Chains A and B, each alone.
Chain A
Amino acid sequence: MNDFWKLLKSAPFAAKLGVFIILINVFAAIFAPVIAPYAETDVIGDMWDGGFWDENAPQHSPVSLLGTDHIGRDLFTRLIYGARNTIGIAFVTTLLSFGVGITAGFIAATLRGWVDQVLSRTVDVFMAIPTLIFALMILSVMGTSIPVLIVVIAILDATRVYRISRAVAMDIEVMEYVEVAKLRGEGLWWIIRHEILPNALAPLVAEFGLRFCFVFLFIAALSFLGLGLQPPTADWGSMVRENASGISYGIIVPLIPAAAIALLTVGVNLVVDWFLHKASGIREIK
């Protein structure tokens, strides 16, 4: 913990900002029921009551900081629960995607031969189809429920994780210590866990941040299209969709959850940039 603070102190401003944004979101997601003034689906007023910026807005108790949404629920509360649902699902999906992708990638890199060929060619075909289109097709058959959503997105995303973890493992696999372990007669799992994984960890951590952003934006987009999380669950993408009609009257409510999505993505990107920068030690790689 002490090392973490030291590291953070030496970080540039952009990275500190990123860490700050992520911590706020994680805090909101974990303590949602404690922070939120109302319950997730409580109706407290009329539609789009107006928030602190509107002097004529009706008073609510406890105070409704950002006003109400399209059916009179407290927007601030929905935003906080939205953090919990959207970020939580994106996080679980990214974890699953990494589990599948890394395992397959490491196996392909260690065994080579036909296993590698079969896995890599399958991934090639999957990657030739745009992710959103592929997901829409599967959801039209399976219907939209949270488990389906998580599994579908995780598998589609695992193809990208597979590519990178295979490439990283390929570089490690030719090292002498792996050779030694193989000659010693260690099994596949032992080599993956004790030789490859520890050495591949650094680049994969940065990749985790990037994949999380992608998955998070992807779930938000699906929810915005009405095909992700279903009402009355609070979720940032669907909140944009539900309140979208207000924009024609100059009501900024749909922009608030959209901005929350953008903010978290920027935050994670800032931290990932810093991390890559530190790991590579080179200024201009891109």
Chain B
Amino acid sequence: MDGLTLMILKRLAFGVVTLFVISLIISLGVELLPGDLAQAMLGQSATPETLAAFRKELGLDQPMYVRYLTWITGILQGDLGTSLASHRPVVDLLGGRLGNTIFLAAVSAAIAVPVAVILGMLAALYRESWFDKFISMTTLSTISFPEFFVGYILVLFLAVEFNVFPSIAKLNSRMDFFDQLYAISLPAITLTLVVIAHMMRMTRAAILNVMTSPYIEMATLKGMTRSRIIVKHAFPNALSPVINVIVLNLAYLVVGVVVVEVVFVYPGLGQLLVDSVSKRDLPVVQASVMIFASTYVLLNLTADVLAIISNPKLRHPK
């Protein structure tokens, strides 16, 4: 087995271990807390009978390892338990919402990635020009703005003042693809704006980093045009950090989606998670946290593996 495969396998193994530890934390986190969970959730006035019934429902009367094994085999078989609040299977609650969240994230990524990479390259190409300065000012401020601020500004201008887009993102199955696209336009733009800033800054930095290498200086001295240098020499070498940037930001998008969904009352997984946290509906929280965390871990894993493949330097760690 050569070094490259070995490194990727090592990284994959770390990913699997991380997922295992996350699942342990999620299912047994309850255990680490001081006091009795049933008591804390039902309040002081709960009778011993209701407490016992509640413990049984959560499986708190069983030993720790049994609980973990039941939970994890359930998850692997697609059985996520029953919601405490609505007494419906968690799978039913999650199903459609997961699809909605993926739809929103995918649309935002489809807009954000090309725009960010092109603008980042342009900013690096026309470095220190008014365009570059404008871009770096805007990105700096969007990074400092909370997601909900960006979201509500867009609502005020695009939905209330000029009525271009709907302010609340409603979806239903009778809509065709373009109606759905129209319905989620504001949340998608918000998410795009939030991730685009990071992506653009990092793309610009990656390209500028390459631009200071000796071979670029050589090409300049040879009399190559600047645009030719960027396309032929800088871009291929900047590809590895840029791919890394894109995937890392997609991971960030998965988390940003939670707040944006709440702003636009979007029927997605993030909204469900937030609602369930305030209702303390543990089975739903555990299932959605597991989905969010594993998506995040998998995207980071992909970023690392792609970086190892596309950058030979990383194959020889010190």
Closest Cβ of chain A to B116, distance in Å, is 16
A133-B278 CB under 8 A given contacts A125-B21, A252-B156: no
- Does A220 reach chain B (CB closer than 8 Å)? yes
A220-B146 CB under 8 A given contacts A226-B274, A244-B152: yes
A255–B281 Cα distance when bound, in Å, is 31
A225–B254 Cα distance when bound, in Å, is 16
What chain A residues lie within 8 Å of B21 (beta carbons)? 125
A225-B208 CB under 8 A given contacts A133-B292, A141-B282: no
- Does A261 reach chain B (CB closer than 8 Å)? yes
Closest Cβ of chain A to B10, distance in Å, is 13
- B30 touching A141, Cβ below 8 Å: yes
A141-B262 CB under 8 A given contacts A130-B254, A247-B155: no
A18–B30 Cα distance when bound, in Å, is 43
A125–B296 Cα distance when bound, in Å, is 12
The A41-91 residues at the B interface (CB cut-off 8 A) are none
Contact of A248 among B148, B153, B160, B255 (CB under 8 A): B160
- B interface residues, tally (CB under 8 Å): 53
- Does B183 reach chain A (CB closer than 8 Å)? no
- B149 touching A125, Cβ below 8 Å: no
What chain A residues lie within 8 Å of B155 (beta carbons)? 247-248
- B29 touching A129, Cβ below 8 Å: no
- Does B167 reach chain A (CB closer than 8 Å)? yes
Closest Cβ of chain A to B254, distance in Å, is 7
Closest Cβ of chain B to A35, distance in Å, is 24
Contact of B148 among A139, A240, A269 (CB under 8 A): A240
The B232-272 residues at the A interface (CB cut-off 8 A) are 251, 254-255, 258-259, 262-263
- Does A101 reach chain B (CB closer than 8 Å)? no
- Does A217 reach chain B (CB closer than 8 Å)? yes
- Does B60 reach chain A (CB closer than 8 Å)? no
B70-78, B102-110, B137-145, B307-315 - interface stretch: B137-145
- B18 touching A128, Cβ below 8 Å: yes
- Does A38 reach chain B (CB closer than 8 Å)? no
Closest Cβ of chain B to A155, distance in Å, is 12
What chain B residues lie within 8 Å of A134 (beta carbons)? 289, 293
Q: Which residue of A lies closest to B17 (CB)?
A: A125
The B298-318 residues at the A interface (CB cut-off 8 A) are 300
What chain B residues lie within 8 Å of A244 (beta carbons)? 152, 263
Q: Which residue of A lies closest to B15 (CB)?
A: A128
Q: Which residue of A lies closest to B155 (CB)?
A: A247
- B278 touching A226, Cβ below 8 Å: yes
- A136 touching B153, Cβ below 8 Å: no
- Does B285 reach chain A (CB closer than 8 Å)? yes
Q: Which residue of B lies closest to A284 (CB)?
A: B208
A132–B146 Cα distance when bound, in Å, is 13
- Does B12 reach chain A (CB closer than 8 Å)? no
- B274 touching A225, Cβ below 8 Å: yes
Q: Which B residues contact A (CB, under 8 angstroms)?
A: 18, 21-22, 25-26, 29-30, 33, 37, 40, 140-141, 143-149, 152-153, 155-156, 159-161, 167, 201, 205, 208, 251, 254-255, 258-259, 262-263, 273-274, 276-278, 280-282, 285-286, 289, 292-293, 296-297, 300
9 cross-chain CB contacts under 8 A: A125-B22, A128-B18, A130-B254, A133-B273, A133-B296, A137-B29, A140-B282, A250-B156, A262-B146
Question: Top 9 nearest A-B pairs by Cβ distance?
Answer: A258-B149, A265-B144, A140-B277, A130-B255, A140-B285, A128-B18, A266-B144, A262-B145, A133-B292
